[in-house]
Amino acid sequence: MVSLLDVSSQLYAEAARQFKKQVSSSENKEIQSALTLLSDQYTKRSEELLVLDRTKAKLPVAPTSSTPPSPTARTRHESSSISSSLASARGGTMSVNLSDTAILYGDDNTSSGDPVTRFQVAVYNLIRAPNVTIGTELQPMKQIKPSGKSVEELEIENAALKQLLSSYSENMSTYDSFHKKVKTSLKHYLSTLKREINQQESQIKKDYENKIEQLYKDNKRLEQQVGSLKSRWDALVESAKKRREDQKSSSSAD
């Protein structure tokens, strides 16, 4: 039977491939850096889960009084690490509070106006794994041997096995849905990120074009004013020159 660790490892590996695939689809260096970090982080986590699965398979099952961290708790820790890596790629820490109740992508109440920051929040919320329900009381039976058990005992064993099978099937279905959601949502988030960055760049370009156009108009108006003042100055110079000549002529006549 496929273990949850193996399934999680495959999901992380697939997510890493999707991140790496999207790197070449963007020309923005910041987006490429963030996606590369996500791909590396997911690849590393996939390898860690695979090693853990193999190691666990070799170890004997021993009773323990402590409760191991749930997949959700582990994934939240990994999500925080990934979010920190994303923030470091941008040269600083994230400007939003990534709590368990972090708001979904596009919420104006937490948007800082920065598309990349909103993308980081969205990815953080997205990569938290769903809850699974494999209890310690549902450990698979090593072997069922024919014996002189009663019908009631066999029915109890049968019910336990059915419950175990149902639990594994439900968890597999949950992770399959989770994986599909991650894949679909990432495509949407990347598309939204690209669109918002293009809108920002388009607005910046438009503002510069408007500023350049206004400067051209101002320069043309100033040139006209300078030309008008120069004409008046030339007229004054010519008038003064003419008066001097007239005064000189009058003095000579006297």
Q: From first to last of the 254 residues of the chain, give the pLDDT tens digit.
A: 567 777 778 888 888 888 888 888 777 777 788 788 888 888 888 888 888 777 776 655 444 444 555 544 444 444 445 445 544 544 443 333 333 333 344 444 444 557 777 777 777 666 665 554 444 444 444 455 555 667 777 788 788 888 888 888 888 888 888 888 888 888 888 888 888 899 999 999 999 999 999 999 999 999 999 999 999 999 999 999 888 888 888 777 66
pTM: 0.35
Per the CB < 8 A criterion, the answer to whether 90 and 111 are in contact is no
- Residue 99 corresponds to which tokens in the numbers above? 């709590």
Per the CB < 8 A criterion, the answer to whether 186 and 122 are in contact is no
Residue 132, sorted as left (phi over 0), alpha (psi -120 to 50) or beta, turns out to be beta
Per the CB < 8 A criterion, the answer to whether 52 and 67 are in contact is no
Say how many C-beta atoms besides its own lie within 10 A of residue 83's C-beta.
23
Query: What residue ranges do the domains of the chain occupy?
Result: 4-59+70-207
- Residue 28 corresponds to which tokens in the numbers above? 């923005």
Contacts of residue 185, defined as CB under 8 A and 6 or more positions apart, other chains included, come to 122, 126
- Residue 11 corresponds to which tokens in the numbers above? 């999901």
Cα distances (angstroms) measured from residue 44 to each of 1, 105, 203, 242:
24, 26, 39, 92
Under DSSP, is residue 102 helix (H, G, I), strand (E, B) or coil?
A: coil
Contacts of residue 108, defined as CB under 8 A and 6 or more positions apart, other chains included, come to none
Per the CB < 8 A criterion, the answer to whether 122 and 193 are in contact is no
